Amino acid sequence: RNRRQAARAGSAMYAEALAPLGLRVTQYSLIAHVMRMEPVTFKDLSRATRLERTTLVRNIELLRKQDLITDAPEPTGKAGHLCLTEKGRNALDQGLPLWKKAQAAVKALLDPEEVTTLKRLLGKLQTATWTTESHS
């Protein structure tokens, strides 16, 4: 419970920072992943972001409607792959200083040892594979 509350508090700081863009933290993260991986399939993007397919599809559709993500052009890309639009690249560029400002705010709340511990713990959680079978 405490971890979820702490995660929500941290997410709220990033959400507030990204509010001027009209993007949620998950959406900004998705366009950043697409940029790093493009052209990228839903399957690979789902693995990289650890989002379930239905959640990913819903978010990608919202980003398509905002003209931030599109299907990769057939002649240069592969069928079923996603890439950023120019508007998506601009949103990333505009969001980067906002994201960095939120990171600085989080770091200002924590001492250097806490930042190091937080990074280590988050890294462990990102690489962990959790299933109900392995934890029952």
Which is more confidently placed, 89 or 134?
89
Quickly tell me which residue has 């790093």 as its tokens.
Answer: 36
Output the pLDDT for position 89.
96
- Report whether 63 contacts 26 (CB < 8 A): no
Residue 131 has pLDDT above 60, yes or no: no
Of the candidates 17, 45, 15, the residue with the CA atom closest to the CA atom of residue 33: 45
Q: Model-level pTM?
A: 0.77
Over residues 74-129, the pLDDT tens digits come to 655 566 789 999 999 999 999 999 999 988 888 888 788 877 877 777 777 667 65
Output the pLDDT for position 74.
64
